DNA sequence: GGATCTTTACTTTTT
DNA sequence: GTAAAGATCC
């Protein structure tokens, strides 16, 4: 749910479609219009829009596709368009359907609309993510999907456990047919909007000897029994309802006078079908997107949806937004030139009116290995910092998250504050999920998965044996686990000890449930965690992260207070997997390219442009040409995040699955326009395009400066650590701010020394290299050696490539 | 039930 | 190489 103030405690609120036809509270259209219309001239909200943007805002009737290139004011158009529709009295806020992919985007839209039309976006009940809106629809017509309206939404973890149970129940070898794989298969079907009966014959024949489809059906049946859905169902079930109940569909079609879709290039087939159904009789649909920024094909997004728009919606008006307000001319030129290598795009040419003679070209630089890459980028960031650039305006965007580690290590050493975006989420942590399972089982006694998760957490002697008996009993009688347990404690099927414990647990749940009637839910939540012994369990835990976990639990209770009820809170977190990242201190941002979409920074570093990593080998292997094109779009997204400076890096050596490998610079480098790119080459030799081994022969590639502020800081820190107690403490203003994003760096503040075995090689010693032959060691720097090869001359090589002679 | 050994993956990830 | 999850052993 997007709006924490409106949890589903009252799922059918102020909705004329199903209740009384009372218009949403709030200002009448005339009132808003009067305010927004300035003084009889054009409405204030239209001021400052360029002609294309204005056209996209004002063309409200009929299908419209807005192709919005990076940084062309997409969100502005979307929000202004909604404001315009409301202010002109064309529709009430609740008659507008506006869908986004992420909660963040929905939130931002809400804010911006409110700012535009003055007052609030109150009444925009249908602005939200596909999933939030799908949930809303499904709760209303739950009975048509074989559910009760208080159904639970399972997360991936629950899903997986459920599938595992099904695989076991079917006597399949879980090793041979892992639940993960089944989950992927079913996910794929759901992405395509396929219910078990619609799965094409032979689809997924590779799984469990063609039983995939049957397992899917079993899984769905099991979900219904648990009164639960998974994420996919939030789309697939409404589609099914729309198809099977034309009257229901017609109601929604009547209701949604205007429809808007954000990030259309990311829609999957199910989302597309959902939209098509709703737009059948009323084609006031406006999709905004950028085919060049489609980077989620791997999870079912169909770029084709956007490419096909004009065919799907005859008479569609296509509006291109190509005027970029974000980046300098060289950055745009580089990004445009790169993306032009893709075929099958709708084609846009970004331009800017900014004519900054100082604008820096895109820089391409190289490092010997990933460690040096991190070191050099760290140095560069410090130098920018000295010039007054805010760390908040600097980001390192990488292809894969494993690349982050090297940067983290380096920044910890430098004492450079950084922030990791993404990574393990708050609500996915074990302690949070355990706590939530307690709450779920309290609110929803039929939630078997929740109950199962915590019956024996903390350990109370209710192990597999007891649970198995409960399961058998429950299955035989088709009842939830807790109900089965309630029966069993009255019999002597369980061992006396287990029986007593189980009875006490069931009584505790009943007690907590009753407390909900007369105490605020967050207090009850705290009582649950205390009385169940869960808090105590972590207090007893001596491991390093136990205090953090307790802190997280406190945070969980705190955040519950913003909600009306426990059920409302649970719904919120089922749909929202992230909490706001508080800004905190200035820090460099580290994230994946995928996570960077929609963001912008003054300075962007793009490390790891090497074949195999970027474009990623697996994307090439599995996706072929289209895989490569998606990778290229990812590169395009990366470059276009930069406002003023973009630095592209590649390393000649990188550890892949534990082994050092020599890498080849990414083909994307060759696709950058020479005129707007500067190859940083201290050696001087070799022009653009020549990334041969020769470039690494320059002698200054290792020992960089040892007088940088970071190095000084690091040295001080080492001294402090040595003097004052344990070195594991968190630096006061230092890095390690993985805000909620993941584990705080416990442990070493100083990067591990690269010197593992300094005695293995000696200066002047004779060595052998596979490629360069025999040579004499001239210098040693950690695990990097300078060797004078008899035939190949002086080279810098990693010790792992050498053999002592 | 806990400790230790073994296996496995290892791109991207929202809802 | 590494980390987490699973399996096995005491």
Question: Which residue numbers of A are catalytic?
Answer: 74-75, 262-263, 293, 641
Q: Beta carbon of A464 within 7 Å of strand C? A: no
User: Where are any strands of DSSP class E within A618-685?
Assistant: 642-656, 659-662, 677-679
8 Å CB contact between A662 and A653: yes
pLDDT of residue A144: 96
The pair of structure tokens assigned to A415 is 């004492």
Phi, psi of A724 (to 5 degrees): -105, 85
Q: Beta carbon of A357 within 7 Å of strand C? A: no
Report CA-CA distances (Å) from A559 to A448, A539, A663, A796: 25, 21, 47, 54
Q: Beta carbon of A175 within 7 Å of strand C? A: yes
Which strands, in side-by-side order, build the sheet including A793-798?
A793-798, A784-789, A773-781, A766-769, A802-804
Q: State pTM to two decimals.
A: 0.79
Question: Which residue is nearest nucleotide B9, judged by alpha carbon to C1' distance?
Answer: A657
Q: How far apart are CA A763 and CA A165, in angstroms?
A: 61
Among all strands, which nt has the closest C1' to A175 (CA)?
Answer: C6
Q: Beta carbon of A655 within 7 Å of strand C? A: yes
Which residues of chain A fall below pLDDT 70?
1-41, 119-121, 577-583, 681-761, 768-773, 781-785, 789-805
Q: In sequence order, what DSSP letters do the residues of A356-407 get, joined into one string?
A: -TTPPPEEEEEEEEHHHHHHHHHHHHHHHHHTT--GGGEEEEESSGGGHHHH
Q: Beta carbon of A658 within 7 Å of strand C? A: yes
Protein-covered nucleotides on strand B (Cβ within 7 A): 1-2, 8-15
The pair of structure tokens assigned to A766 is 């004779």
Q: How far apart are CA A786 and CA A798, in angstroms?
A: 9
List % helix, strand, coil for chain A (3-state, nearest 5).
45, 15, 40
Phi, psi of A490 (to 5 degrees): -90, -5
Report CA-CA distances (Å) from A500 to A451, A464, A513, A533, A645: 17, 16, 20, 16, 67
Of residues A672, A649, A627, the one with CA closest to residue A398: A649
8 Å CB contact between A24 and A14: yes
A778/C5 CA-to-C1' distance in Å:
46
A495/B12 CA-to-C1' distance in Å:
49
The pair of structure tokens assigned to A772 is 């360069």
pLDDT of residue A545: 75
The pair of structure tokens assigned to A645 is 């400076």
Q: How far apart are CA A79 and CA A108, in angstroms?
A: 9
Among all strands, which nt has the closest C1' to A596 (CA)?
Answer: B12
pLDDT of residue A732: 25
- Tell the residue number behind the tokens 């009582």, with chain if given: A527
A231/C9 CA-to-C1' distance in Å:
40
Sign of CA dihedral A506, A507, A508, A510: positive
Q: How far apart are CA A553 and CA A547, in angstroms?
A: 10
């Amino acid at each position: 749910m997007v709006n924490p103030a409106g949890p589903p405690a009252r799922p059918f609120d102020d909705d004329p479609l199903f209740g009384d036809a009372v218009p949403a509270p709030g200002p009448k259209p005339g009132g808003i219009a009067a305010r927004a219309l300035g003084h009889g001239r054009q409405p204030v909200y239209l001021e400052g829009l360029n002609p294309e943007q204005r056209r996209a805002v004002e063309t409200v009737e009929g299908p419209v596709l807005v192709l919005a290139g990076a940084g062309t004011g997409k969100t502005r158009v979307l929000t202004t368009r909604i404001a315009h529709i409301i202010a002109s009295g064309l529709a009430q806020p609740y008659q507008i359907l506006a869908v986004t992919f992420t909660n963040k985007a929905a939130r931002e839209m809400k804010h911006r609309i409110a700012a535009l039309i003055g007052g609030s976006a109150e009444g925009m009940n249908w602005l939200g993510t596909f999933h939030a809106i799908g949930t809303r629809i499904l709760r209303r017509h739950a009975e048509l999907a074989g559910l009760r309206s208080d159904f639970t939404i399972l997360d991936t973890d629950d899903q997986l456990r459920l599938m595992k149970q099904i695989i076991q129940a079917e006597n399949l070898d879980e090793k041979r047919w892992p639940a993960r794989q089944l989950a992927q298969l079913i996910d794929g079907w759901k992405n395509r909007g396929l219910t078990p009966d619609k799965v094409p014959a032979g689809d997924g024949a590779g799984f469990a000897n063609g039983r995939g489809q049957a397992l899917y059906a079993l899984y769905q049946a099991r979900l219904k029994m648990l009164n639960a859905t998974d994420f996919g169902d939030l789309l697939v079930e409404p589609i099914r309802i729309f198809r099977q109940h034309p009257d229901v569909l017609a109601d929604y079609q009547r209701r949604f006078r205007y429809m808007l879709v954000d990030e259309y290039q990311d829609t999957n087939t199910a989302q597309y079908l959902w939209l098509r159904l709703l737009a059948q009789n009323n084609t006031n649909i406006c999709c905004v997107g950028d085919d060049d920024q489609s980077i989620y094909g791997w999870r079912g997004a169909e770029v084709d949806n956007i490419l096909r728009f004009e065919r799907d919606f005859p008479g569609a008006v296509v509006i291109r937004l190509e005027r970029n307000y974000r980046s300098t001319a060289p950055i745009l030129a580089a990004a445009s030139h790169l993306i032009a290598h893709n075929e099958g795009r709708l084609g846009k040419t970004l331009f800017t009116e900014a004519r900054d003679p100082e604008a820096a070209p895109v820089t391409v630089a190289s490092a010997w290995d990933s460690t040096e890459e991190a070191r050099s980028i760290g140095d560069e960031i410090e130098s920018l910092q000295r010039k007054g650039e805010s760390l908040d305006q600097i980001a390192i965007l990488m292809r894969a998250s494993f690349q982050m580690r090297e940067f983290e290590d380096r920044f910890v050493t430098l004492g450079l504050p950084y922030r990791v975006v993404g990574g393990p989420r708050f609500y996915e942590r074990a302690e949070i999920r355990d706590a939530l399972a307690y709450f779920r089982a309290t609110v929803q006694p039929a939630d078997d998965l929740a109950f199962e998760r915590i019956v024996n957490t903390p350990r109370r002697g209710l192990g597999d044996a007891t649970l198995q008996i409960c399961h058998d009993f429950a299955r035989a009688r088709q009842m939830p686990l807790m109900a089965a347990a309630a029966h069993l404690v009255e019999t002597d099927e369980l061992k006396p000890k287990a029986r007593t414990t189980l009875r006490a647990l069931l009584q505790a749940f009943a007690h907590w449930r009753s407390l909900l009637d007369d105490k605020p839910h967050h207090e009850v939540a705290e009582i649950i965690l205390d009385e169940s012994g869960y808090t105590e369990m972590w207090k007893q835990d001596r491991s390093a992260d136990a205090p953090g976990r307790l802190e997280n639990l406190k945070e969980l209770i705190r955040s519950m207070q913003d909600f009306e009820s426990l059920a409302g809170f649970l719904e919120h977190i089922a749909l929202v997997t992230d909490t706001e990242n508080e800004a905190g201190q200035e820090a460099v941002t580290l994230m994946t390219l995928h996570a960077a979409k929609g963001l912008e920074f003054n300075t962007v570093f793009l490390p790891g442009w090497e074949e195999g990593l970027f474009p990623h080998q697996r994307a090439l292997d599995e996706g072929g040409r289209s895989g490569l094109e998606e990778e290229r779009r990812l590169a395009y997204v990366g470059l276009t995040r930069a406002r003023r400076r973009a630095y592209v890096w590649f390393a000649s050596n990188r550890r892949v699955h534990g082994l050092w490998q020599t890498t080849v610079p990414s083909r994307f480098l060759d696709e950058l326009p020479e005129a707007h790119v500067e190859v940083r080459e201290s050696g001087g030799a070799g022009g653009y395009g020549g990334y041969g081994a020769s470039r690494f022969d320059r002698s200054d590639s290792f020992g960089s400066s040892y007088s940088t502020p970071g190095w000084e800081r690091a040295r001080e820190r080492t001294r402090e650590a040595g003097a004052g107690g344990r070195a594991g403490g968190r630096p006061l203003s230092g890095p390690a701010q993985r805000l909620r994003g993941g584990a705080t760096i416990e442990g070493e503040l100083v990067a591990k020394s690269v010197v593992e075995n300094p005695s293995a090689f000696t200066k002047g010693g004779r060595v052998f290299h596979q490629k360069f032959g025999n040579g004499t060691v001239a210098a040693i720097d950690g695990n990097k050696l300078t060797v004078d090869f008899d035939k190949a001359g002086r080279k810098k090589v990693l010790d792992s490539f050498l053999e002592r002679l």
